[in-house]
Amino acid sequence: MTPDALRTALAGRTTEEGERWLDAACTAVAADPAAVRALFPAAGRRCGRGPLHLAEPYGWTVDDAVRALLLAALPLTGTALHTELTELYRTGDAAERRAVLRALPLLPVGDDALPLVHDALRTNDTRLVAAALGDYATHHLDAAAYRQGVLKCVFTGIPLAALPGLPDRADAELARMMSAFAAERTAAGRPVPADIQPVLARFPEIPVPTATARREA
């Protein structure tokens, strides 16, 4: 996702008034980065909150896109950018935090924003967990945390199709964890979500439990 792609996607998904507000807000932020603090919470009220792409209910929302463009307009780098971003996340409501997480791949922050991803992955809010496992996590999050995040999605019902890092970031250890999860579910007589199959399929050497395995145990 790039700022240009977000702009294109926003066309028709917000009102003309919303677009004018966004243009003025980006100009204000470029001139004075502190202006973002008052504009960031107002984005949903001004521009809308519906899905950016109608087919993706766990994907970007209009207010996510607007907030990401505000962040991309910040004339800040290095420590100053990191400080502003951390403060916006820390003082944000759930929608603002989600937008910060979504915007991370657009910003020159390197690995510095990982604490925000870890914070979101500690929550039980599926909107934050899903947003935390976007492109930024795909490229920056360590393997152990990424695996735990994926498993949390499976446990909380977030469709794995919402994770851009899968199946490419799946490794044998994740497949083993998925297999163990499937074994627990099978033993409990509960259904195993079908979307773990693409991960398991990459590692045919990992045994996949079946109802037969349950009887043997």
Partner 1 sequence: MRIFDPHIHMTSRTTDDYEAMHAAGVRALVEPAFWLGQPRTSAASFLDYFDALIGWEPFRAAQFGIRHHCTIALNPKEANDPRCTEVLRHLPRYLAKDGVVAVGEIGYDSMTPAEDHAFAAQLQLAVVHELPALVHSPHRDKAAGVDRTLAVVRESGIAPERVVVDHLNEVTVKQVADSGCWMGFSIYPDTKMDEHRMVAVLREYGTERILVNSAADWGRSDPLKTRRTADAMLAAGFSADDVDQVLWRNPVAFYGQSGRLELDDVEAPGTGATFEGNSVLRGARAEV
CB of 94 to partner 1, least distance (A): 4
80 vs 161, beta carbon nearer partner 1:
161
CB of 65 to partner 1, least distance (A): 13
Say if residues 65 and 6 touch (Cβ distance below 8 Å).
yes
C-alpha 130/C-alpha 137 separation (Å) is 11
Tokens 């950016």, residue?
52
CB of 217 to partner 1, least distance (A): 26
Say if residues 37 and 85 touch (Cβ distance below 8 Å).
no
CB of 127 to partner 1, least distance (A): 6
Give me the phi and psi of 61, to 5 degrees please.
-110, 170
CB of 166 to partner 1, least distance (A): 17
3-state secondary structure of 109: coil
43 vs 206, beta carbon nearer partner 1:
43
45 vs 214, beta carbon nearer partner 1:
45
Residues that bind partner 1 (CB under 8 A): 37-38, 41-42, 44-45, 49-51, 54, 56-58, 61, 91, 93-95, 97, 123-127, 157, 159, 193
C-alpha 187/C-alpha 209 separation (Å) is 9
Say if residues 30 and 17 touch (Cβ distance below 8 Å).
no
41 vs 164, beta carbon nearer partner 1:
41
Distance of CA 33 to the CA centre of its chain: 24
46 vs 202, beta carbon nearer partner 1:
46
